[in-house]
Amino acid sequence: MATVETAAHSDTHKDTGGSWEGASQPFKASYGKLMMWYFLVSDAFTFAGFLIAYGALRFSMPTWPVPDFVFSTTPFNGHGLPLVFVTVMTFILLASSFTMVRAVQEGHEENKRGVVKWMIFTIIGGLMFLGCQAWEWNKLIGEEHMSITQNPFGTHTEAGVYLAGDGHYVNEGDTFKAGESYLVHKYDGEWAPLDYKVTEGSNAGMVKSQTLGPKAFGALFFFITGFHGFHVFSGVVIMLIVTINAATGLYSKRKNGYEMIEKVGLYWHFVDLVWVFVFLLFYLL
């Protein structure tokens, strides 16, 4: 790339530091920053692939687990609190985006201590989000027995009345309408679907049993949130490395306004952005 010609050429022109060996910076951005943007575009394609699969499968199914029912628990035995926990997770990630912005601003002021302080806050935010996601997965896999091949969250398609209770939230004689959700429990490794009698429609009077919900829900949920969680985890690792580097003074030597922090910031905001759309598609719609 750098032939003798261009080396001599750049001697006569003032090199602005990061001119990509040519006369000026393409798009007025450094190589690292531009390539981080394009990496994020490629990562967006990966997530879009998953979300396209989600959209196509979900809307082609007659029923789909209602998110307000599936995600209605919180730590410390909270239940009947739809979407509260995932909203807390969203706030944690938004707050960590704010602390990252502050870290970048401190970097522009060449303020090493400010950078390290705000980066540590961002790392803590990332770890809190991962902890919350781990709690959510443990609840779904360990207690509610959801996996990538089994989905115990179903939705009733007809109105009916339960013929037996499960000792938890469903009692014998409870009625339900079409569109209401249910969770099939598992005891000692065996599924325990409840029987119910249909009370309306063409099947009135028939006794039916709860069935497991669409399998795709489990697979899609764990793959998409897993991929996102993996990005959060790798972001935390990268931020740890970069924070330690900043603390040792490596970036102050470069005198580029802590551009490395800015590049990592782009990655972290991308992770937050993906969560905004996963949150929208999985939990709100």
Partner 1 sequence: MAHMTYEESKKSAFKIIIILAIITIVEVLFALLGKGYLKEGIEFSPVIMGGVMIIMSVVKAYLIIFEFMHMKYEAPGLAKSVLLPTLLLVWGVIAFSWEGSDWFQRRNLIKTSNEQPVKDTKVGSVYDPYEIKNIG
Residues making contact with partner 1 (CB under 8 A): 26-29, 34, 37-38, 40-41, 44-45, 48, 51-53, 55-62, 66, 68, 82-83, 87, 90-91, 94-95, 97-98, 100-102, 105, 108-109, 262, 265-266, 269-270, 272-273, 276-277, 280, 283-285
Give min distance, CB of 92 to partner 1, in A: 11
Residue among 159 and 273 whose Cβ is closer to partner 1: 273
Helices and strands, counts by H and E, the chain:
8, 8
Is the separation of the CB atoms in 196 and 207 below 8 Å? yes
Give min distance, CB of 117 to partner 1, in A: 14
Give min distance, CB of 260 to partner 1, in A: 15
d(CA 209, CA 191) in angstroms, rounded, equals 12
Residue among 181 and 210 whose Cβ is closer to partner 1: 181
Residue among 17 and 165 whose Cβ is closer to partner 1: 17
Give min distance, CB of 86 to partner 1, in A: 9
- Please give the biggest Cα pair distance in the chain: 92
Residue among 213 and 265 whose Cβ is closer to partner 1: 265
DSSP 173-233: T-EE-TT-EEE-EEETTEEEPPEEEE-SSTTTT-EEE-----HHHHHHHHHHHHHHHHHHH
Residue among 51 and 198 whose Cβ is closer to partner 1: 51
Residue among 36 and 194 whose Cβ is closer to partner 1: 36
d(CA 26, CA 9) in angstroms, rounded, equals 18
Give min distance, CB of 109 to partner 1, in A: 6
Give min distance, CB of 182 to partner 1, in A: 16
Residue 84: which residues within 8 A CB-CB, separation 6 or more? 72, 74, 78
Task: Tell me 27's DSSP state.
Answer: G
123 burial level (CB within 10 Å; 0-12, 13-18, 19+):
buried
